[in-house]
């Protein structure tokens, strides 16, 4: 948890599978949204929390209301990717996550930014009605946001 709070983001790694590429041999654009989810779940996990528990025990789900992605360079089969996920805002039941997907360091030591994006979520119950963020999640998210504001 401290590492995420200190650096301001969590990292998850994936390797591009052949099935994730299109006829041009590059990753199909919609796969980035799947990887955003991988990053988001890992971000929550690295904060010492668990999204599955949030759903099952706290009856709180984070429904996607908006997603944006800006593609910078193509990813290809067998590339190792790093998804860096950060919290870009929290206001009541609204949560914003930011993502940067990079190709892992190559022989020259450079990482290539492949995609940047953001998702906006509303906390809802199983009835799909807005509800408050469970306290333990709100507290951890606030700690991350406070640390980011302090750094700036």
Just list the catalytic residues: 22
Listing DSSP states for 108-127 in one string gives TS--EEEEEEEEEEEEE-TT
Residue labelled with tokens 């469970």: 134
Neighbouring C-beta atoms of residue 124, cutoff 10 Å: 17
Residue labelled with tokens 């199983």: 126
Residues in contact with 7: Cβ distance below 8 Å, sequence separation at least 6, in sequence order:
none
HSE of 14 in the Cβ direction (CA atoms, 13 Å)?
Answer: 21
């Amino acid at each position: 948890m401290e590492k995420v709070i200190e650096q301001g983001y969590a990292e998850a790694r994936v390797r591009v599978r052949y099935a994730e590429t299109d006829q041009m041999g590059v990753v199909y654009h919609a796969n980035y949204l799947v990887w955003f989810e991988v990053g988001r779940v890992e971000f929550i996990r690295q904060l010492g929390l668990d999204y599955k528990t949030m759903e099952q025990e706290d009856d709180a789900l984070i429904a996607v209301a908006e997603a944006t992605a800006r593609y910078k360079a193509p990813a290809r089969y067998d590339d190792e990717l790093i998804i860096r996920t950060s919290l870009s805002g929290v206001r009541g039941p609204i949560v914003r996550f930011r993502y940067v997907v990079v190709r892992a360091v190559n022989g020259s030591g450079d990482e290539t930014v492949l995609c940047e994006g953001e998702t906006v979520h509303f906390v809802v119950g199983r009835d799909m009605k807005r509800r408050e963020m469970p306290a333990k999640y709100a507290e951890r998210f606030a700690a991350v946001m406070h640390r980011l504001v302090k750094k700036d």
